[in-house]
Amino acid sequence: MEKAIFKRPESLYETPFHYCPGCGHGIIHRLIAEVIDEFGIRERTIGTAPVGCAVLNYDYFNFDVCECAHGRTPAVATGIKRVRPKSVVFSYQGDGDLAAIGIAEIIHTALRSERITAIFVNNCVYGMTGGQMAPTTLLNQKTQTTPFGRDPKKAGFPLRVCELLATLDGATYIARTALNNPKNVLKTRESIKKAFLTQIEDVGFSLVEILSPCPVNWKLSPVDSIKWMKERMIPYFPLGEFKTPFAK
Amino acid sequence: MKGNEAIGEAAIRAGCRYYFGYPITPQNELTAYMSKRMEEVGGVFIQAESELAAINMVYGASAAGGRAMTSSSSPGISLKQEGISYMVGAELPGVVVNICRGGPGLGNIAPSQSDYFQATRGGGHGDYYTIVLSPSSVQESADLVFLAFYLADKYRNPVIILGDGFLGQMLEPVEFKNPAFGRLPRKRWALTGAKERPPNVIRSLYLKEGVLEKRNWELSKKYERMKKEVRYEGIYLDDAEFIVVAYGICARISKASVLLLRAHGLKVGLIRPITLWPFPSGVIKEVRDKIKRFFVIEMNLGQMVEDVKLAVEGRTSVSFYGRPGGGVPTPEEIYKVIKDGKGYF
Ligand SMILES: Cc1ncc(C[n+]2csc(CCOP(=O)(O)OP(=O)(O)O)c2C)c(N)n1
C-alpha cells in the first residue's frame, strides 16, 4: 500500500493562494495549518484575519476565523479567548498591524500573558497598501514613503519587536525565525509548534516573528529577495528564541 | 444606588459576563463596579489599555458568542466608534454605554447631551445605525440595560445607552426587573470552533464588485425592522397647545417645568423619546397639526431639534432652547422660556 507522506493539511482548503509570487504568507499559512493538524486541534482553533495582505486568510483556513480592525487583532483575540478558554486562539498580524497601529494592543496582551499565540509576519513593509514604510523598514531601505531610503533623522529607527516583548514579564514564548531557506522554514514550523504548545499548556502568551519576503514591494526578484533577507534583514533582526518556557 | 452602578448590576443580571472598560469620568463607578461584580459571578473584567482595545475585546467576545459590554464617556466613545462600525459590519451584538459629558475635545466632566448626533447617526465610518436608548432615571437606566442586551441579540447589532453625567452620578432607589423578552435564536454564527459544522467567519470586508452594496441593502432592511422598536413617553398630549420635546435628564427637568406651566393654566405637553434612534417621529406627526409650537430642550447646541423638524415637516413652529458645554437647565429656567416665549431660537 502507498502511504502519503506529503499532503494538503486538513486545516487548509483546497484553494490556490492569491498571494504575489515569492510572498511568504502562503508558506506561513501552510505551516500554521500543519501544526494545527499535528496537534489535532482544528475543531477548537479560532484564528484571526488582520487588515493587511492576509485579510482573506479565511479563504484558505479551514477553521473559524475572525476578521479584525487594523492592529486590534490581539484585543479581539483576547475577547475570543476569554469567552472560549478551551479554544486555541491565534492572532495573525503584519508589521504595520502589530508594530505600528497595534503596538499598544500587542504589548498589553503580552503583559496580561493572554493565552493566545501571535503569528507576526515581518516583511519590512506595508504590503497591502502598496509598499510604504513599516516600523520594521530597515535603515536606507527604499519604500513608497521613504523614496530616498529610510533616514533615521526623519523617519526613526526600525523596531525589534521580539527584543521589546522579551522584556515583559507576561511574555512567555518569544522567537524570531525566517523563511529564507528550507532549514529555517522547518525551524519556523518548530517555533510555531512551541508557541501553540505554550498556549495549549496554559503557560502564557506566545509570539513568533517570521521574517518573510515581499519581492513585489521590495522591487526585487524572489531569488534576490532571499539574498536580501540573509544580507540585510537577518543581521538587523537576529533569529532565535528570546524567551522560552521549554528546556533548550 | 448610583446610576452607574445600577447599569452595571442590571448588565450582570441580564447575563452579561464580559465587561471591558477604560477609566473616564463621569462613568468610573461603572467600571469599578464591574471589576468587583464580575469576580463574584465568575465573569470576565478587563481594564483595557484604551477604549480602542476595550471595544475590540467586546467585538471578540461577542464574535465568540458572549454577552459583552463596554462603557465610557464622550472622548472615549469617539475612540470606540471604530469598533462599533466593525461590529455593525460584522453583525455582532453588544452594549455600549455612553455617560456623556461636555465637549468638544477634552471638554469637561459635567453632564451633557453633546453626543446625540454621534449616537444617532451611526457615529463611526460607513453607512449604518445603532439603536440608541435614553434613560431619564436610575430605574430606567437599569430597565433599559435589560432591553439593550435583548435588542442587541435580536438584531445582531450594537445598542447604545446614551446617559449623561447627571444620570450616572445620581442616587435613586432601583428595582431590578428582569423582564421576559421573546426567545432569541441560537448564535449559530458564533466562533466556537468548527466542530461538526463548516467554519464560521466573522467579517465585514466584501471586496467583490456589487457584493457590499447588496449586503448593505440587506442591512438596511434590518434597520427598517429595528425602527419598530421605537419607544417614547408622552404626557398631556391630548389637549396640548404647546409640546416640549426633551430626552434623558433634560426631559426629567422639563417634566417639572411642564407641571409648573400646567399649574399656571398653560396647555403644555411633553414628548420624551426613549429611543433616540429610531426616533419617535410618528407621535410628532400625529400631534403636529393640532399644536401651536414645539419647544425642543437639549443640553447641547441643538441636535435632536433636527429630528423634530424632520418629523414636523414645516407644518408648525419648532423652537429650541439649549445649554451646551455641561450646562444644566433648571425647571424654572425652562418654565420661563416657554411662558415668556423668550430666550430660544
Ligand atoms: C485604521 C486603518 N488604517 C489604515 C488602513 C489601510 N491599510 C490596510 S493594510 C495596511 C498595512 C498592512 O501592512 P502590514 O500590517 O505590514 O501587513 P502586510 O500587508 O504587509 O501583510 C494599511 C495601512 C486600514 N485598513 N485601516
Specify whether B194 is located in the same domain as B289: no
Specify whether B181 is located in the same domain as B238: no
Rounded to an integer, the average pLDDT of A219-236 is 98
Rounded to an integer, the average pLDDT of A98-115 is 98
Nearest CA to ligand 1 atom 3: A70
Domain-located, residue B262: yes
Q: Which residues of A touch B193 (CB under 8 A)?
A: 43-46, 63-64, 84, 87
Q: Which residues of A touch B205 (CB under 8 A)?
A: 55-56, 67
Rounded to an integer, the average pLDDT of B181-209 is 97
Q: Which residues of B touch A61 (CB under 8 A)?
A: 199
Preceding amide of B26 cis, omega within 30: yes
Q: Decide whether any atom of ligand 1 lies within 6 Å of the A95 Cβ.
A: yes
Residue B341: its pLDDT value, please? 77
Question: Domains in chain A, start-ordered, CATH in brackets?
Answer: 25-243 (3.40.50.970)
Specify whether B248 is located in the same domain as B283: yes
Which of B205, B228, B251 marks a domain boundary?
B228
Q: Decide whether any atom of ligand 1 lies within 6 Å of the A128 Cβ.
A: yes
CATH number at residue B106: 3.40.50.970
Residue A5: its pLDDT value, please? 77
Give residue B43's domain range: 3-228
How far apart CA A119 and CA A170 sit, in angstroms, is 17
Which of B194, B228, B262 marks a domain boundary?
B228
> Where are any strands of DSSP class E within chain A?
45-49, 64-67, 88-94, 117-122, 125-126, 132-133, 171-178, 205-211, 240-243
pTM exceeds 0.90: yes
Evaluate if residue B9 carries a pLDDT over 80.
yes
Residue B340: its pLDDT value, please? 85
Specify whether B96 is located in the same domain as B113: yes
Domain-located, residue B345: no
Q: Cα distance from B69 to chain A (closest Cα, Å)?
A: 11
Residue B345: its pLDDT value, please? 58
Specify whether B159 is located in the same domain as B279: no
Residues 6+ apart with CB under 8 A from A92: A32, A47, A48, A49, A50, A54, A57, A73, A119, A121
Overall domain count for chain B: 2
Ligand 1 centroid – CA A68 distance (Å): 11
Specify whether B249 is located in the same domain as B113: no
- Cβ proximity of A210 and A120 under 8 Å: yes
Low-confidence winner among A137-141, B97-101, B339-343 (lowest mean pLDDT): B339-343
* Tens-place pLDDT, residues B233-265: 999 999 999 999 999 999 999 999 999 999 999
How far apart CA B204 and CA B155 sit, in angstroms, is 16
Residue A233: its pLDDT value, please? 98
Specify whether B164 is located in the same domain as B200: yes
Residue A1: its pLDDT value, please? 63
Minimal Cβ distance to B203: which of A44, A67, A79: A67
* Tens-place pLDDT, residues A37-58: 999 999 999 999 999 999 999 9
Cα dihedral across residues A233, A238, A242, A247: positive or negative = positive
